[in-house]
Amino acid sequence: MKRAWKLLIPLVLAASLVGCGGNTQTAPAPQAEAPQTAPQDAAAKQTVYPLTVTDATGKEVTVAKEPQRIVSTSPAETEILFALGLNERIVGVSDFDDYPAEASTKPKVGGVVKPSEEAILAQSPDLVIGGISMEKPVADKLKSLGMPVYVTHPKKVDDILNNILTMGVITNRQEQAEKVVAAMKQDIARVQEAVKAVKPENKKKVYLEFAPGWTVGKGEFLDELVTLAGGTNIAADTEGWNPISEEKILKSDPDVILYAKGITDDKTGTKLEEIIANRNGWDTMKAIREKQVFGMDQNLLARPGPRITQGLIEVAKAIYPDLVK
């Protein structure tokens, strides 16, 4: 996992890091245009093709028929496809796809930022799904060959839920998608119920470091996880993904520190938890003094897919272990 944080950044930052100066744009939430489905009989929801949807880039994507050969270039989207029961139709995944275990056995098509066009085309897909980190020239090339390419860029938890529902429509797995989303909403409700009695003045201050020297402010789902869990993100006065100010964090004196487990600084070989513990003066912070420093599964924390609410539960347990069981 030494270089895992280098994968984490393109997965969750994508275009945001390019505009770290504060010029961040929010892509439109993916949605189907006038969902073309059969009458709303819950037992027999079927997508009618051809279907046109608008993806996170604002581009219309037309799917001519029910996809039979799907390539995913992003781990989160791959997890969604498996959760929808499309195991047999997934014919290619990114080099980093490792969940569920079966994903590791699928043909590889390269990285999440610049997947191999040749490897994708070799699978003769009738649908390609990727994250916003896919380079535009790659997506454009695939589209120029007449291939439906659907790109996602969830900013909020609701965007993640909507992605799952939309992918359910695209792949004719509407009922499965609704079941997945319903279970995720139960997770969210469970956490909100557990922390609802925490008064605003008693909310714990939380610092989150997902990669060496990087934290997250408002407008992103990682910040929302902290908020849903009843905490106050000390970086919430910033927008998007930010390099940290060690002095500012020290002054904020968080009650709890969360970090992504398994992350190692590429230059020094030092584990992220050691970096946090050994920063100048940080040993005086309440979170470190009281040993309220917790490693989170980086995939649960940062993959905007069906397991994101499991990540929420883990975050909530770390912040309020006496409330969230």
The pLDDT of residue 139: 87
Preceding peptide of 67 cis, ω within 30°: no
User: Is 206 a domain residue?
Assistant: yes
Query: pLDDT tens-digit profile of 47-92?
Result: 999 999 999 989 999 999 999 999 999 999 999 999 999 999 999 9
The pLDDT of residue 133: 85
Q: How many CB atoms lie within 10 A of CB 311?
A: 24
Angle between helices 308-319 and 221-228 (to 10 degrees): 50
Q: For residue 26, is pLDDT > 90?
A: no
Whole-number Å distance between alpha carbons of 219 and 149 = 26
Residue among 208, 321, 307 at smallest CA distance from 259: 208
Do 306 and 247 lie in one domain? The reply is: yes
pLDDT grade, residue 124 (50/70/90)? very high
Q: At 311, list the tokens.
A: 């990540």
The pLDDT of residue 20: 31
Q: How many CB atoms lie within 10 A of CB 320?
A: 19
Do 167 and 207 lie in one domain? The reply is: no
Please state the rounded mean pLDDT for residues 271-283.
96
Domain end residue (candidates: 181, 215, 241): 181
Do 174 and 208 lie in one domain? The reply is: no
Do 307 and 257 lie in one domain? The reply is: yes
Question: Is the model more confident about 37 or about 83?
Answer: 83
Please state the rounded mean pLDDT for residues 176-200.
98
Q: At 59, list the tokens.
A: 């581009």
User: Is 177 a domain residue?
Assistant: yes
Q: For residue 13, is pLDDT > 80?
A: no
272-305 burial, b at 16+ Cβ within 10 Å, e below that, comes to: bbebbeeeeebeebebbeeebbbbbebbbbbbbb
The pLDDT of residue 14: 39
Q: What angle do CA 302, 208, 1 make, to 5 degrees?
A: 50
Do 68 and 148 lie in one domain? The reply is: yes
Do 164 and 223 lie in one domain? The reply is: no
Domain housing 292? 197-319
pLDDT grade, residue 43 (50/70/90)? low
For a pLDDT cut of 90, what percent of the chain falls above it?
Answer: 79
User: Is 96 a domain residue?
Assistant: yes
pLDDT grade, residue 33 (50/70/90)? very low
The pLDDT of residue 34: 37
Do 244 and 277 lie in one domain? The reply is: yes
Do 55 and 168 lie in one domain? The reply is: yes
User: Is 9 a domain residue?
Assistant: no
For a pLDDT cut of 70, what percent of the chain falls above it?
Answer: 86
Q: Which of 22-36, 125-139, 209-223, 275-289 has the lowest mean pLDDT?
A: 22-36
Summary mean pLDDT of the chain:
88
Domain end residue (candidates: 181, 208, 234): 181
User: Is 103 a domain residue?
Assistant: yes
Q: Which residues contact 39 (CB under 8 A, 6 or more apart)?
A: none
The pLDDT of residue 318: 98
Please state the rounded mean pLDDT for residues 98-114.
95
User: Is 34 a domain residue?
Assistant: no
The pLDDT of residue 2: 38
Domain end residue (candidates: 181, 209, 231): 181
Q: For residue 136, is pLDDT > 90?
A: no
- Report DSSP letters for 98-149, one per residue: -SSGGGGGSPB-B-SSSB-HHHHHHT--SEEEEETTS-HHHHHHHHHTT--E
User: Is 221 a domain residue?
Assistant: yes
Cα 56 to the chain's mean position, in Å? 14
Do 161 and 201 lie in one domain? The reply is: no
Please state the rounded mean pLDDT for residues 156-179.
97
Q: For residue 245, is pLDDT > 90?
A: yes
The H or E element that residue 207 is part of is strand 205-209
Q: For residue 21, is pLDDT > 60?
A: no
Counting the structural domains of the chain, the total is: 2
Cα 200 to the chain's mean position, in Å? 28
Do 78 and 171 lie in one domain? The reply is: yes
Please state the rounded mean pLDDT for residues 145-154.
93
Do 176 and 208 lie in one domain? The reply is: no
The pLDDT of residue 44: 66
Domain CATH code at residue 145: 3.40.50.1980
Question: Is the model more confident about 304 or about 137?
Answer: 304
Please state the rounded mean pLDDT for residues 94-99.
95
Please state the rounded mean pLDDT for residues 280-290.
97
Q: Which of 108-122, 133-147, 173-187 has the lowest mean pLDDT?
A: 133-147
The pLDDT of residue 266: 87
User: Is 1 a domain residue?
Assistant: no
Do 62 and 173 lie in one domain? The reply is: yes
Q: Which of 18-32, 273-287, 302-316 has the lowest mean pLDDT?
A: 18-32
